[in-house]
Amino acid sequence: MRHTLSVTVENKPGILTRVAGLFARRGYNIESLVVAETENPQISRMTIVVDGDGRIIEQVSKQLHKLINVLKIQDITHEEAVHRELILLRVNADATNRTEILQVAEVFRARIVDMSRASVTIEATGDTSKIEAILTTFRPYGIKEFARTGRLSMMRGK
Amino acid sequence: MELNGAQALLKALEANGVDVIFGYPGGSVLPIYDALLDSPIHHILVRCEQGAAHAASGYARASGRPGVCLATSGPGATNLVTGIANAYMDSIPMVAITGQVPSSMVGTDAFQEVDITGITMPIIKHSYLVQDVTEIPRVVQEAFHLASTGRPGPVLIDIPKDVQQTKLTWDGLPEIDIKGYKPTFKGHPAQIKNAVHMIEASERPVILVGGGIVNPQAPAELMELARKAQIPVTTTLMAVGAFPETDDLSLGLIGMHGTAYANLAVSNADLLIGIGVRFGDRATGNTARFAKNAKIIHIDIDPAEIGKNTEIDLPIVGDAGTVLAEINRLVGEHRHDAWMEQIATWKRERPLKYRTDRLTVQYVLEEMGDLTRDRAIVATDVGQHQMWAAQHYKFLRPGQLVTSAGLGCMGFGLPAANGVQVARPDDLVILVTGDGSIQMQMQELGTARQENLPLKIVLFNNNALGMVRQLQHFYCDKRFSGVKLSFNPDFIALAKAYGIQTYQIHSKEETKAVLEEAFAHPGIVLVEVLVDENEIVYPSVLGNKGLDETLVYE
Q: Report pLDDT digits (tens) over B403-425.
A: 999 999 999 999 999 999 999 99
pLDDT one-digit tens code per residue, B296-317: 999 999 999 999 999 999 999 9
B544/A contact by beta carbon, under 8 A: no
Q: What integer pLDDT is reported at residue A92 of this predicted model?
A: 95
Interface subset of B 127-156, CB within 8 angstroms of A: 127, 129, 131, 146
Q: In a 10 Å sphere around its CB, with 0-12 CB exposed, 13-18 middle and 19+ buried, how is residue B334 labelled?
A: middle
B447-453 mean pLDDT: 98
B379-388 mean pLDDT: 98
**Mind telling me the catalytic residues of B?**
49, 111-112, 161, 467
Neighboring chain A residues of B127 at a CB cutoff of 8 Å: 14
Interchain proximity A71–B302, CB inside 8 Å: no
Q: What integer pLDDT is reported at residue B503 of this predicted model?
A: 98
Share of chain B above pLDDT 90, in %: 99
Q: What integer pLDDT is reported at residue A20 of this predicted model?
A: 92
pLDDT one-digit tens code per residue, B509-521: 999 999 999 999 9
B11/A contact by beta carbon, under 8 A: no
pLDDT one-digit tens code per residue, B129-145: 999 999 999 999 999 99
Q: What integer pLDDT is reported at residue B456 of this predicted model?
A: 98
To probe the interface with B, which of A19, A23, A66 has the most B CB atoms within 10 Å?
A66
B490-504 mean pLDDT: 98
A39-53, B71-85, B259-273, B399-413: least confident range: A39-53
Q: What integer pLDDT is reported at residue B254 of this predicted model?
A: 98
Task: Give start and end residues of each alpha helix (H) in A77-142.
Answer: 98-107, 128-138
Neighboring chain B residues of A57 at a CB cutoff of 8 Å: none
Residues A7, B291: Cα–Cα separation, whole Å: 36
CB B362 within 8 A of CB B386: no
How far from the centroid of its chain's Cα atoms is residue B115's Cα? 27
A43-57, B58-72, B353-367: least confident range: A43-57
Report the predicted TM-score, pTM, of the whole model to 2 decimal places. Answer: 0.94
**Where exactly does CATH 3.40.50.970 map onto chain B?**
2-169, 361-530
Residues B126, B143: Cα–Cα separation, whole Å: 8
Beta bridge partners of B317: B300
**pLDDT over threshold 90, residue B453:** yes
Residues A103, A97: Cα–Cα separation, whole Å: 10
Residues B186, B184: Cα–Cα separation, whole Å: 6
Neighboring chain A residues of B307 at a CB cutoff of 8 Å: 55, 58-59
Q: What is the mean pLDDT of chain B?
A: 97
Ranges of chain A whose pLDDT falls below 70? none
Q: List, in sequence order, every beta strand (DSSP E) within B200-340.
A: 205-209, 233-235, 250-253, 271-275, 295-300, 314-317
CB B83 within 8 A of CB B23: no
What is the pLDDT confidence band of residue B338, given thresholds at 50, 70 and 90?
A: very high
Interchain proximity B180–A55, CB inside 8 Å: no
Q: What integer pLDDT is reported at residue B310 of this predicted model?
A: 92
Q: How many CA atoms lie within 13 A of B61 on its CB side?
A: 39
CB A35 within 8 A of CB A46: yes
Q: CA of A29 to nearest chain B CA: how many angstroms apart?
A: 17
- Among B125, B180, B304, the residue with its CB nearest the CB of A71 is B180
To probe the interface with A, which of B308, B311, B317 has the most A CB atoms within 10 Å?
B308
Residues B11, B172: Cα–Cα separation, whole Å: 9
Neighboring chain B residues of A70 at a CB cutoff of 8 Å: 180
CATH of B2-169, one of 3.40.50.970, 3.40.50.1220, 3.90.660.10, 3.40.50.720: 3.40.50.970
Q: List, in sequence order, every beta strand (DSSP E) within chain A.
A: 2-10, 29-37, 43-51, 70-75, 81-92, 111-115, 119-126, 143-148, 152-155
B304/A contact by beta carbon, under 8 A: yes
**pLDDT over threshold 90, residue B216:** no
Q: What integer pLDDT is reported at residue A29 of this predicted model?
A: 86
- A5, amino acid identity: L
B243-266 mean pLDDT: 98
B427-449 mean pLDDT: 98
CATH of B189-349, one of 3.40.50.1220, 3.30.1330.10, 3.90.1520.10, 3.40.50.200: 3.40.50.1220
Interchain proximity A68–B117, CB inside 8 Å: no
**Where exactly does CATH 3.40.50.1220 map onto chain B?**
189-349
- How open is the CA angle B104-B105-B111, to the nearest 5 degrees? 155
What are the Cα distances from residue B159, in Å, to B102, B165, B198?
A: 9, 10, 51
B553: Cβ–Cβ under 8 A, 6 or more apart, which residues?
Answer: B353, B354, B355, B536, B538, B539
Q: What integer pLDDT is reported at residue A1 of this predicted model?
A: 87
CB B451 within 8 A of CB B523: no
Residues B310, B208: Cα–Cα separation, whole Å: 14
Q: What integer pLDDT is reported at residue A13 of this predicted model?
A: 83
Q: Report the chain A residue with the minimal C-alpha distance to residue B304.
A: A62
Interface subset of A 21-80, CB within 8 angstroms of B: 21, 25, 55, 58-59, 62-63, 65-71
Candidates B386, B349, B381, B348; CA nearest to B365 is: B386
What is the pLDDT confidence band of residue B548, given thresholds at 50, 70 and 90?
A: very high
Candidates B13, B93, B113; CA nearest to B53 is: B93
CATH of B361-530, one of 1.10.8.10, 3.40.50.300, 3.40.50.970, 3.40.640.10: 3.40.50.970
* CA A101, A103, A105, A110 torsion-angle sign: positive
Domains and CATH numbers, chain A: 2-75 (3.30.70.260), 81-155 (3.30.70.1150)
Asked if the ipTM is above 0.95, the reply is no
What is the pLDDT confidence band of residue B215, given thresholds at 50, 70 and 90?
A: confident
**pLDDT over threshold 90, residue B333:** yes
Q: In a 10 Å sphere around its CB, with 0-12 CB exposed, 13-18 middle and 19+ buried, how is residue B55 labelled?
A: buried
- Among B118, B131, B304, the residue with its CB nearest the CB of A63 is B304
